[in-house]
Copies of this chain bind each other. A is one copy, B any other.
Amino acid sequence: VHDTVSAMSGPAGNIDAFAEATAVSSVGDEGARHYEAEIHPGWDIGGNANGGYLMAIAGRAMTEAVGRPPLTLTAHYLRPGPAGPCTIDVEVVRSGRRLATARATMTVEGKPTLELLGTFGEQAPDDGPSYQREEPVDVTPFQDCLPMRPAADAGGPGLMDRLACRLQPGDDGFRKGEPTGDPTVRGWFALAAEEPIDAIGLLLAADAFPPPIFNSNIPMAWVPTVELTVHVRGTPAPGPLRVAFRSRFIHDGLLDEEGEIWDSAGVLVAQSRQLSLMPRPT
């Protein structure tokens, strides 16, 4: 059996660039599924595919395998992911009435590159009890925020050409060589051409912004992610998403980075946290 699983967001074309760039094709049966996909060029930071983008490809394969979108997905990053073909082997560990759990390995150039574990299920709004400790992150209106990649910055990450993200004025200190001293980066996440953002898109959103440590006073050229966990807390209403990422604790060669993603209706739609390595000066 070899059937092409189309991306979720409808017709092909530039308008569905993300859906196309994360499309997967399946071979296999229900219990242990094998998928093929393509790590597209242009979704990279300096030549290596963005971690959220890789998680989105693998997450789409897992979503297809279990027949429901992710509620919570963890990826461990074993090595960088260059552009080119990849495979995703999904094993469904348990499939229950409300939730299903699956693990997966993404392999690139014959080597395991991402190892993933997730639980999947529809996340429908309900009228049950709720509590919200914090208000949606306070961000300047989209049109008044800074384009993520100024036209002058021709050498910037390829990823930013695929997105329509905006950066909070003031949080751009790191771009000017004047870090704010507060490892926080806020702004708006949007796909190009107003492509809608589903649970798979949230996986990308969770890792699409520059590392907030860039705004600390610790000089840092790159920050390799060891682990990224994304909790999907809702389905985004249309429009760009308000995001805030911050590091809370940096010491002994490791740092955290936590993210909150809010939709245009003020609903928390995703939480993320990652553990990253702080490369030691050589």
List residues of chain A with CB under 8 Å of any chain B CB: 71-72, 74, 76, 78-79, 93-94, 99, 101, 103, 105, 112, 115-119, 123-126, 128-134, 183, 213, 216-218, 226-227, 229, 231, 233-234, 246-256, 267-268, 271, 273, 275, 278, 280
Copies in the complex: 2
Contact of A249 among B101, B226, B227, B271 (CB under 8 A): B271
Complex contacts, A271 vs chain B, CB 8 Å: 249, 256, 273
Q: Could you tell me if B131 and A247 are in contact, using CB atoms closer than 8 angstroms?
A: yes
Q: Could you tell me if B248 and A233 are in contact, using CB atoms closer than 8 angstroms?
A: no
Q: Could you tell me if A99 and B226 are in contact, using CB atoms closer than 8 angstroms?
A: yes
* CA–CA, A233 and B248, complex, Å: 12
Q: List 23 A-B contacts (CB under 8 A).
A: A71-B254, A71-B275, A76-B119, A78-B101, A93-B105, A101-B115, A103-B103, A103-B115, A123-B254, A126-B280, A128-B253, A129-B250, A129-B278, A130-B251, A131-B251, A131-B255, A132-B249, A133-B183, A134-B248, A227-B229, A231-B275, A234-B251, A234-B252
Chain A interface helix/strand/loop/mixed: strand
* CA–CA, A271 and B103, complex, Å: 23
Q: Could you tell me if A133 and B246 are in contact, using CB atoms closer than 8 angstroms?
A: yes
* CA–CA, A229 and B248, complex, Å: 16
Q: Could you tell me if A256 and B231 are in contact, using CB atoms closer than 8 angstroms?
A: yes
Q: Other than A72-B76, A233-B251, give 7 A-B pairs with Cβ distance below 8 A.
A: A74-B229, A76-B119, A93-B115, A103-B117, A131-B255, A133-B249, A256-B271
Q: Could you tell me if B72 and A275 are in contact, using CB atoms closer than 8 angstroms?
A: yes
* CA–CA, A253 and B280, complex, Å: 42
With contacts A103-B117, A116-B117 known, is A252 near B233, CB below 8 A?
yes
Contact of A248 among B103, B105, B133 (CB under 8 A): B133
Query: Which residue of the partner chain B has the closest CB to A268?
Result: B249
The smallest C-beta distance from A253 to any residue of chain B, in angstroms, reads: 6
